[in-house]
């Protein structure tokens, strides 16, 4: 959900984030459906009742190598790589067509991409676009100077010391509010600074070496790197952990400017917000981690100015490195991708630049993308599937044995009012005010990135205090992903995910429901996970639960936490059941709702017989296992388990199914099988 920024800042997000080549015609619709399964991936030597993930994907795993520029490789990665080729071709065709005038959003996107592909221009311009910022860092003498720098830095994405963002008020989701949050760490998470095991200590040592390397390239003393680690460690020790940040109410601390000033009195907060570009001083600020802001106050009063300067210089360089010359990009890759994720080689330049272009100008490219690739029929059929799965979800809620009727009514209301967005926005983002320049006389890749970051920031500032635009999208159409936004109570499915193996309009419905149907069910379930369940049908953080229902929910989720805590992908490294709880609830509820949605489809349209030797029910579950197929490099897997709220794919496959009676029936799972769980420990939530 997060937009690309100059510094890739981490502001806690509240939005828990077939292509058919042509439109289907009448003759195609009359054809008998194809299976949609790739049977060559199945390892028939594995009993599906023992390890369903290996049964479905065993041959694929045995015959697939992880590309050198990837840390993991699976269904999502394969589709994203294929989609990159499509997006690039769409962008190139826009330039060749001659139908888009100079200054149009489409040609701006093409120019942005072209500037990133000009490596000679990057060598020529070097750090020049950052020189004014470096000068301001060097001129800092006191807190007032620091404040002025932080205000300007924030306009380019910020991320030093603390983060700032505009998004809907958690308790009044129809209005945009201002937020302050912890930020300013160069390692992926708080745990990287606090853990004492050998690998964590080694990573910190390598981190200091990496900072030293970049400082040397800038002509600075490498000894300054240790100061950066020490300052960041102070910030980390006062930061909420990734698990603690799942407690949404703890992040909602609404206060006046005077209240913020009590936490950090050294800052003139009114001036800070005005210098940042706000048209007025905010009446209230939502401070997500008050303890962190108090530590910031102690830092600015107890740490030498020279240490601030080293820290700020590092964060400016770190954020800009992906957009600088090959030396900086290589250094960035060597630590963040090679060391932390185990990658063997950097992605080709065109993929990196395309990702950045799509991040900043996603909807400009999206307009081109959907025009060439997304048929209206795909959108309509997906809508029908959503309605069946929503219908199944409501039936499941009404049949729950652990929830009282009044809470069930509120839950059903939430499903009924859930907005659905499929394919692409009805209203496109306007990039008229964004300046994109090509050529050494006018601009550079880094300058265009800075312009785009500032453009996005200004657009966000304009939202403060105004009604939320519920038609706005958080992902571009060419993004292979989907999301649930609790503040809008909406589920969103960009066009790019409506492709095999998730969806194919020619495939039989069991395969489609096991693929994109399960994704749909997953996103609906996010409305009822440990975070989404805190928001009502209007998107406000209001309690709609009776106390006894809440206790029952917590008891069931605790059992799911225990199940996933027991998974150990690397010796000594286990899945974090608390961190992954929301996604695990989404997978469990999504698989069950999609399965029931398929049964509703069969009630209306009739049920087919076996295909490729598998019953419809078996095909549904095989499709489910297919979408989560994946291989990992050990370091990527270790990093994911530490920082990612998603469980590794093998557990996303087997974990939910081990709780589903319908799966047991489909594959004759018995007590002595690996997929078996005793009925007393199976978890059914939604």
Of 323, 348, 372, the one marking the end of a domain is: 323
Question: Do residues 533 and 644 share a domain?
Answer: yes
Least confident range from 27-41, 166-180, 651-665: namely 27-41
Asked, for residue 677, whether it belongs to a domain, the answer is no
pLDDT at residue number 31? 53
pLDDT of 199 over the 90 cut: yes
pLDDT of 654 over the 50 cut: yes
pLDDT of 30 over the 80 cut: no
pLDDT of 25 over the 70 cut: no
Least confident range from 28-37, 318-327, 475-484, 577-586: namely 28-37
pLDDT of 4 over the 70 cut: no
Residue-by-residue DSSP string for 539-550:
S-----S-HHHH
**Where do the H-state alpha helices sit in 98-159?**
105-117, 119-125, 131-138, 143-154
pLDDT of 348 over the 60 cut: yes
Asked, for residue 344, whether it belongs to a domain, the answer is no
Q: Read off the pLDDT of each residue in 568-577 and give the average, rounded to a whole number.
A: 96
pLDDT at residue number 440? 73
Q: Read off the pLDDT of each residue in 179-199 and give the average, rounded to a whole number.
A: 96
pLDDT of 286 over the 90 cut: yes
CATH number, position 199: 1.10.1380.10
pLDDT at residue number 275? 97
> Which phi and psi (to 5°) does residue 611 adopt?
-145, 135
pLDDT at residue number 150? 98
Q: Read off the pLDDT of each residue in 418-436 and give the average, rounded to a whole number.
A: 96
**Where do the H-state alpha helices sit in 155-289?**
191-194, 198-218, 224-237, 257-263, 269-276
The model's confidence at residue 439, banded by pLDDT at 50, 70 and 90, is: confident
The model's confidence at residue 380, banded by pLDDT at 50, 70 and 90, is: confident
Of 323, 345, 378, the one marking the end of a domain is: 323
pLDDT of 223 over the 80 cut: yes
CATH number, position 411: 3.40.390.10
How are beta strands 284-287 and 172-182 bridged, if at all? parallel
| Residue 636 near residue 72, CB atoms below 8 Å | yes
Least confident range from 3-12, 40-49, 551-560, 641-650: namely 3-12
Domain count across the chain: 2
Signed CA dihedral, 252, 685, 415, 422: sign only: positive
- What is the tens place of the pLDDT at every residue in 477-486? 999 999 999 9
| CA-wise closest residue to 180 among 307, 269, 265 | 269
pLDDT at residue number 159? 87
Asked, for residue 599, whether it belongs to a domain, the answer is yes
Question: Do residues 75 and 205 share a domain?
Answer: no
pLDDT at residue number 34? 73
pLDDT of 577 over the 50 cut: yes
Question: Do residues 395 and 463 share a domain?
Answer: yes
Question: Do residues 528 and 403 share a domain?
Answer: yes
Asked, for residue 675, whether it belongs to a domain, the answer is no
Q: What percent of the chain has a predicted confidence (pLDDT) above 90? A: 90
Question: Do residues 295 and 240 share a domain?
Answer: yes
pLDDT of 259 over the 80 cut: yes
Whose structure tokens read 């069950």? 592
Q: Read off the pLDDT of each residue in 454-481 and give the average, rounded to a whole number.
A: 97
Question: Do residues 210 and 64 share a domain?
Answer: no
pLDDT of 5 over the 70 cut: no
Through-space distance between the first and last CA atoms of the chain, rounded to whole angstroms: 25
Signed CA dihedral, 438, 443, 449, 453: sign only: negative
User: 88 exposed, middle or buried (CB, 10 Å; 0-12, 13-18, 19+)?
Assistant: middle
- What is the tens place of the pLDDT at every residue in 264-284? 999 999 999 999 999 999 999
Asked, for residue 102, whether it belongs to a domain, the answer is no
Question: Do residues 192 and 296 share a domain?
Answer: yes
Range of the domain at 493: 45-89+361-667
Q: Report the mean per-residue pLDDT for the chain.
A: 93
The model's confidence at residue 578, banded by pLDDT at 50, 70 and 90, is: very high
Question: Do residues 309 and 381 share a domain?
Answer: no
Q: Read off the pLDDT of each residue in 60-65 and give the average, rounded to a whole number.
A: 98
Question: Do residues 254 and 391 share a domain?
Answer: no
Q: What percent of the chain has a predicted confidence (pLDDT) above 70? A: 95
Question: Do residues 85 and 202 share a domain?
Answer: no
- What is the tens place of the pLDDT at every residue in 524-536? 999 999 999 999 9
Of 297, 323, 349, the one marking the end of a domain is: 323
pLDDT at residue number 9? 33
Give kind and range of the element (H or E) at residue 297.
helix 290-302
| Residue 597 near residue 521, CB atoms below 8 Å | yes
Question: Do residues 317 and 258 share a domain?
Answer: yes
Residue-by-residue DSSP string for 2-32:
PPP-SS------SS-----SS---HHHHHSP
pLDDT of 17 over the 70 cut: no
Asked, for residue 122, whether it belongs to a domain, the answer is no
| Residue 481 near residue 475, CB atoms below 8 Å | yes
Each as own residue / partner, the long-range contacts of residues 84-92 (CB below 8 Å, 24 or more positions apart, any chain) are 84/351, 84/354, 86/19, 86/369, 86/373, 86/478, 87/354, 87/358, 87/365, 87/369, 87/478, 88/350, 88/354, 90/365, 90/368, 90/369, 90/372, 90/373, 91/354, 91/357, 91/365, 91/368
Asked, for residue 139, whether it belongs to a domain, the answer is yes
Q: Read off the pLDDT of each residue in 295-317 and give the average, rounded to a whole number.
A: 97
Q: Which residue has the higher pLDDT, 29 or 180?
A: 180
Q: Read off the pLDDT of each residue in 152-173 and give the average, rounded to a whole number.
A: 96
pLDDT of 14 over the 70 cut: no
Q: Read off the pLDDT of each residue in 547-556 and give the average, rounded to a whole number.
A: 98
The model's confidence at residue 630, banded by pLDDT at 50, 70 and 90, is: very high
pLDDT at residue number 101? 93
Q: In Å, what is the CA distance from 143 to each residue of 150, 277, 291, 296, 412?
A: 10, 19, 19, 11, 52
Q: In Å, what is the CA distance from 516 to each residue of 85, 293, 494?
A: 22, 42, 12
Least confident range from 117-121, 346-350, 516-520: namely 117-121
pLDDT of 611 over the 50 cut: yes
Q: Please give the order of strands across the beta sheet that includes 284-287.
A: 162-169, 172-182, 284-287, 254-256
Q: In Å, how far from its chain's centre is CA 423?
A: 18
Question: Do residues 431 and 486 share a domain?
Answer: yes
The model's confidence at residue 33, banded by pLDDT at 50, 70 and 90, is: low
Asked, for residue 36, whether it belongs to a domain, the answer is no
């Amino acid at each position: 959900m997060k937009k690309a920024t100059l510094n890739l800042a981490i502001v806690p997000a509240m939005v828990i984030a077939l292509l058919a080549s042509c439109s289907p015609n009448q003759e195609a619709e009359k054809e008998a459906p194809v299976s949609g399964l790739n049977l060559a991936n199945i390892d028939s030597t594995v009993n599906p009742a023992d390890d369903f993930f290996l049964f479905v994907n065993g041959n694929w795993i045995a015959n697939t190598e992880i590309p050198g520029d990837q840390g993991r490789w699976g269904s999502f990665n394969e589709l994203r790589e294929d989609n990159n080729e499509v997006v690039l071709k769409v962008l190139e065709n826009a330039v060749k067509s001659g139908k888009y005038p100079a200054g149009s959003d489409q040609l701006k996107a093409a120019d942005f991409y072209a500037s990133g592909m000009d490596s000679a221009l990057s060598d020529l311009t070097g750090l020049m676009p950052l020189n004014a910022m470096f000068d301001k860092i060097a001129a800092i003498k006191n807190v007032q100077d620091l404040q002025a720098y932080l205000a300007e830095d924030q306009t380019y994405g910020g991320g030093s010391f603390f983060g700032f963002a505009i998004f809907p008020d958690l308790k009044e989701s129809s209005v945009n509010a201002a937020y302050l949050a912890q930020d300013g760490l160069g390692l992926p998470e708080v745990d990287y600074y606090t853990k004492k095991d050998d690998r964590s200590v080694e990573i910190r040592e390598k981190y200091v070496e990496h900072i030293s390397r970049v400082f040397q390239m800038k002509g600075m003393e490498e000894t300054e790197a240790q100061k950066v680690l020490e300052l960041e460690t102070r910030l980390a020790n006062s930061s909420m952990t990734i698990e603690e940040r799942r407690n949404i109410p703890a992040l909602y601390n609404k206060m006046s400017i005077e209240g913020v000033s009590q936490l950090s009195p050294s800052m003139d907060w009114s001036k800070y917000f005005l210098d940042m570009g706000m048209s007025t001083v905010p009446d209230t600020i939502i401070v997500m981690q008050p303890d962190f802001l108090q530590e910031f106050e102690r830092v600015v009063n107890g740490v030498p100015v020279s240490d601030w300067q080293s820290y700020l210089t590092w964060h400016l360089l770190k954020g800009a490195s992906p957009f600088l010359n090959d030396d900086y990009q290589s250094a960035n890759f060597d630590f963040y991708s090679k060391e932390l994720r185990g990658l063997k080689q950097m992605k080709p330049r065109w993929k990196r630049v395309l990702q950045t272009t799509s991040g900043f100008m996603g909807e400009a490219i999206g307009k081109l993308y959907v025009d060439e690739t997304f048929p209206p029929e795909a959108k309509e059929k997906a809508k029908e599937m959503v309605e069946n799965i929503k219908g199944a979800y409501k039936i499941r809620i009404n049949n729950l044995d652990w929830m009282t009727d009044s809470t069930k009514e509120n839950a059903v209301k939430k499903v009924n009012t859930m907005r659905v967005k499929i394919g692409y926005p009805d209203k496109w983002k306007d990039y008229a005010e964004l300046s994109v320049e090509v050529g050494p006389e006018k601009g550079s890749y880094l300058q265009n990135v800075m312009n785009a970051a500032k453009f996005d920031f200004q657009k966000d500032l304009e939202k403060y205090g105004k009604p939320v635009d519920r038609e706005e999208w958080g992902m571009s159409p060419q993004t292979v992903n989907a999301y649930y936004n609790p503040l809008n109570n909406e589920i969103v499915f960009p066009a790019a995910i409506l492709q095999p193996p998730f969806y194919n309009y020619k495939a039989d419905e069991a395969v489609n429901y096991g693929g994109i149907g399960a994704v749909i069910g997953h996103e609906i379930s996010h409305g009822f996970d440990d975070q989404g369940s805190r928001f009502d049908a209007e998107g406000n953080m209001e309690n709609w639960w009776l106390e006894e229902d809440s206790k029952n929910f917590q008891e069931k989720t605790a059992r799911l936490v225990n199940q996933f805590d027991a998974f150990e992908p690397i010796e000594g490294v286990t899945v974090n059941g608390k961190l992954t709880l929301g996604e695990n609830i989404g997978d469990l509820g999504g698989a069950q709702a999609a399965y029931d949605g398929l049964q509703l489809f069969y009630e209306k349209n009739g049920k087919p017989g076996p295909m490729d030797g598998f019953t419809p029910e078996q095909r549904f579950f095989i499709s489910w296992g297919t979408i989560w197929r994946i291989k990992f490099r050990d370091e990527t897997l270790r990093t994911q388990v530490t920082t990612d709220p998603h469980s590794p794919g093998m557990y996303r496959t087997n974990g939910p199914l081990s709780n589903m009676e319908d799966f047991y029936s489909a594959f004759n799972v018995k007590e002595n099988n690996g997929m078996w769980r005793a009925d007393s420990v199976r978890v059914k939530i939604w």
